[in-house]
A and B are shown apart, each in its own frame.
Chain A
């Protein structure tokens, strides 16, 4: 770098004849660093920064320093190719989960059934032996609770379903933040789908005494992405009741969900159950094979018979994917539906970012777990969510 004499820099540090103006606030400084200011504002802020060492220091300290490495267990994946990397691992892990769960209860692995791939429809991902549970007849509980309700028949402890006070987050330090779901709020109204897509039918399958298709039920219960569903239901804004409490060190209070769930694990291990299998597809049955309008169908007898899952008559579905009880179905005009209880109840998910929305047909859905899902549209767009569909980013 070229050297300049001292006198030049001493003059540079002096005030210029033009005034530096008012100090930009944190909003403007952040927007400046992110190139989000309007053109005329860029000139004004730049002129100020040229003269104000204080504001330059704020900017440098805020954005010049690199974020320190956070332990891998606590840091969410931010790689753009994580889906390609994780898909095969997810498939293998799902298969291992089923095998391990079966060994716990039966001593012999169940047969892993993969969903069929139609000629004209892209059914992405494998619906690997999600156990079809007897759905709740009425949904009077929030999603995390609803998932746990299937286990309630044999599980005595109910503290995970009815925390006495709303909590923010569990303080378990070895659990990544994205794996922690806030516990359900008390007195939340029933979840309503945005369309007349309330699927509340019981399956013609053997009754399930207790459901534990997951190796880590405590984790699965705690990981239920509750906020998205609660957003669709009536929320209680502005309430002053039950405000989050602060603790002296971390600022967050301990969550009751994870602690209580840990106590259920031992109880769940002693349960016996049967594992019916549900397959998902688009237009699998012979009577729908010739029609152009895609409908979601489910089979619980290994593909012998299929039943239509009536989500929306206006949507022509083109992709369905499942991982455990998490089922996603997408189709025309970017419409996406999600069920977290094996298809008993569905909610429509809005695939949209800050300034744009998915409008093209969804032709592929990739599901890693209940939090990570990605959809691909006919236009080539790819959108991904890491919180079960609440927040989407376009890749």
Chain B
């Protein structure tokens, strides 16, 4: 966002060039009015730059004007303008941001971190990065708000950034824990050379084939429930559906998956009884922590 006097000098000259240029869609002016950018001193030209930056980030270089318009129409324009104005240090924008989002920021941090001091530290740290305490090469502040693109709500973006910061801190602290300390804590590690319970190759093939057939959204539900250990309520909030819907879907997916695996086993020459027996809960379910095993398997 340019200094107002500079904008005043060039705006009149640039305005005609801007609006007359072939890549300045007519809806830009309409969106600019909706965004309320003028109240923060954002010119139409600045606004157009922001929109082009967003479309350049999420669309391919040869995206059609219709695709660009579709993307722009999905943006949270008011929040986008607010965030970018804050990133430029616009004080009315900051006042509005604090009025609307301060409480939400701390509430989200409290929900994520649980412990009050940790939550406060998390929120304060994010606030500092939003404000921009680091200096860029040009001496200007580097504000995290400049990376908000208006795809989702500003509040949702803040929550996600908080979550990422919290998780990344937690992960980095975990990596610093030594092997000896983890052993002393009682964690057991399965040796790589330990005897592996033989599995019928047909079973593995049938399972892989059935899982491949699952749509991605169903795999997300199954992974969240069985691998990540999320509750139904948590999954419901993640995907934005009702908890009962999640429960019914997981049940339906699991039942369908079993049938597909059994069908696949039978196609591979296994008889019906053997196929059903193969799908029974095996002894490893009773002895092995599934989640922990999968974490090790993935090399974390």
Binding site for B on A (CB under 8 A): 1-14, 16-17, 25-38, 41, 43, 46-47, 49-51, 53-54, 56-68, 70, 74-76, 166, 168-169, 177-178, 180, 182, 185, 226-227, 230-232, 234-240, 242-244, 246, 249-252, 350, 352-355, 357, 387, 390-391
Contact = CB atoms under 8 A, between A and B. Distances in A.
Nearest to B149: A27
Contacts of B293: 10
Contact of B234 (A32, A65, A251): A65
Given A6-B288, A30-B159, A240 B89 contact: yes
B151 A60 contact: no
A26 B147 CA distance: 9
Given A6-B284, A7-B282, A168-B94, A238 B223 contact: no
Contact of A30 (B156, B227, B233, B235): B156
Interface in B190-233: 199, 203-204, 207-208, 211-212, 216-217, 219-220, 222-228, 230, 233
Contacts of A6: 281-282, 284-285, 288, 290
B163 interface: yes
Contacts of B157: 26-27, 30
Given A33-B240, A50-B216, A58-B164, A168 B127 contact: no
A53 B228 contact: yes
A31 B112 contact: no
Nearest to B100: A391
29 contacts: A5-B280, A6-B290, A12-B226, A13-B297, A14-B297, A33-B160, A34-B156, A56-B220, A56-B223, A60-B224, A60-B228, A62-B156, A70-B107, A168-B95, A177-B102, A227-B92, A231-B40, A234-B4, A235-B90, A235-B92, A237-B90, A238-B88, A244-B131, A246-B127, A352-B34, A354-B34, A354-B78, A355-B77, A391-B100
Nearest to B126: A251
B92 A230 contact: yes
B13 to A, nearest CB: 20
B275 interface: no
Interface centre among A31, A46, A169, A177 (most CB of B within 10 A): A31
Contacts of A14: 297
B245 interface: no
Interface centre among B133, B208, B280 (most CB of A within 10 A): B208
A57 B3 CA distance: 41
A63 B237 contact: yes
A60 to B, nearest CB: 5
Nearest to B119: A68
B78 A244 contact: no
Nearest to B233: A64
A4 B258 contact: yes
Contacts of A67: 104, 107-108, 110-111
Interface residues of B, number: 112
B211 A12 contact: yes
A244 B258 CA distance: 60
Contacts of B161: 26
Contact of B159 (A43, A62, A350): A62
Interface of B: 1-4, 34, 36, 39-42, 58, 70-71, 73-74, 76-79, 85, 88-96, 98-100, 102-104, 106-108, 110-112, 120, 123-124, 127-128, 131, 133, 147-153, 156-157, 159-164, 166-167, 199, 203-204, 207-208, 211-212, 216-217, 219-220, 222-228, 230, 233-235, 237-240, 247, 250-251, 254-255, 257-258, 261, 278-282, 284-285, 288, 290, 293-294, 297-298
Nearest to A65: B111
A244 B1 contact: no
Contacts of A28: 151-152
Contact of B251 (A2, A11, A38, A59): A2
B284 to A, nearest CB: 5
A62 B92 contact: no
A7 B39 contact: no
A250 B280 CA distance: 55
B1 A238 contact: yes
Contacts of B150: 27
